[in-house]
Amino acid sequence: MELSTRLQDVLLGTLAVVAISLTALAVWSVGSPSEAPTAGVAHALDPASSSDAAVESSAAPNAADTTGTATAADTPPTTLPAPTVGDWVSAWSTQDADLFVIGDGFSNLRSQWVHQWAGLVAAERPVQIHHWGEAADVSFNEADLISEGEGAQLTIWNASRADTTVSEAAGRTSEFLEAAGDVDAVMVSLGRESTPSGVAASLDQLVDEVGPDLPVLVVIGPPGLYGSDVADGILAWVEDHDERVSLVDLRESAPDEATAEEWAAAFQAALAGS
C-alpha cells in the first residue's frame, strides 16, 4: 500500500533530525577530553614533574659510588725499597757493563786502589779501565786492558784526579759522564782534601748531575786516610739519602792507613758479603 504524500514527508523529516543528531554527537566526542592518561604518560608530558625527576636523580647517590672504592687521593704513594750494595753490584756484574768512578788522589793512579781492585775483578771476567787524562784534563786515556777471555766485559771509567775535593769533583761530574758515555752504575770515592762544611751540598750536586736512574755507591775509605770529620760528614749525608745511594764504609774492616792493595781487598770482601 502506498504511503500518502504527507506521511512520506513526516518520515523524511524524522530521518533528517536523527542524522543531524548523530553527526553532532560524533563531533562532540572527538573534541571532548579523553580519560586521564596513565601515570607514566602524565610524568613524561608534565614539565614540572620531569624537572623534579632530574633534580632527584642528580641528588641521589649512585650505587656504584657507595661501594667504598678508593680514589687516587686515598691511595698511599708507592715506597720503593732502599738501594743496597747488592743492587749496585748487580747493575754491572751480570752483563757487559760500564762502571763510572769519580774519585780523588787516593784512586787516580794505576798503583792505587781502584786499579788494584780492577785486577781482582779481572780474575773472574774481562776487564779494561780508562783513567782520566790529568795532563790535558779534557778526556779519558785509552783503555788499559786488565784481562781478556770469556764472559761479560766490565769497562771502568775512572774519573779520579789528584788534589780534587768533593766540591770540585761535583762541579765536573756532568763533564766526566759525557766523556764516558752510557754507564750502568756509579761509584763515588771522595773526601781527601775536603772540608766537612761543604761535603753535604757537594754530594747533593754530584748526585743531581748523575740523575735518578743510575745506582750510586759511596765508598768511605780505610781509617786514618780521611779526616774523621769528613768521613763522618759523608756517612751522615748517606744516611739522609739512603733512598737514593748505598754505602761501603771501610773504617771497620780495612787496616789503618791501608795500602792500595789492602784497600782493594777490603772493598772486594765488602762486595762479596753484600
Instruction: Report if residue 144 sits inside a domain.
Output: yes
User: CA 68 from chain center: how many Å?
Assistant: 28
pLDDT of residue 77: 60
**d(C-alpha 161, C-alpha 170), whole Å:** 12
pLDDT of residue 81: 86
Give the number of other Cβ atoms within 10 Å of residue 216's Cβ.
Answer: 24
Instruction: Report if residue 107 sits inside a domain.
Output: yes
Weakly modelled stretches of the chain, pLDDT under 50: 1-8, 10-12, 14-68
Q: Are 140 and 167 in contact (CB under 8 A)?
A: no
Give the number of other Cβ atoms within 10 Å of residue 180's Cβ.
Answer: 23
Instruction: Report if residue 54 sits inside a domain.
Output: no
How many domains does one find in the chain? 1
pLDDT of residue 75: 62
pLDDT of residue 71: 54
> What's the one-letter identity of residue 151?
G
Instruction: Report if residue 106 sits inside a domain.
Output: yes
pLDDT in tens, 174-216: 999 999 999 999 999 999 988 899 899 999 999 999 999 999 9
Which residues have CB under 8 Å from 86's CB, separation 6+? Answer: 274
pLDDT in tens, 3-34: 444 444 544 454 444 444 444 444 334 444 44
DSSP bridge partners of 98 = 155
Instruction: Report if residue 43 sits inside a domain.
Output: no
Instruction: Report if residue 60 sits inside a domain.
Output: no
Quick check: helix, strand or coil at residue 18? helix
Instruction: Report if residue 195 sits inside a domain.
Output: yes
**d(C-alpha 33, C-alpha 197), whole Å:** 97
Residues comprising the chain, all counted: 274
Would the pTM of this model clear 0.75, i.e. be above it? no
Residue 130's closest CA among 98, 94, 104? 98
CATH of the domain at 198: 3.40.50.1110
Q: Which residue has the cell 753484600?
A: 274
pLDDT of residue 160: 98
Show the domain range for 185: 85-272
Instruction: Report if residue 29 sits inside a domain.
Output: no
Residue 102's closest CA among 192, 12, 39? 192
> What's the one-letter identity of residue 113?
W
pLDDT of residue 18: 41
**d(C-alpha 159, C-alpha 45), whole Å:** 83
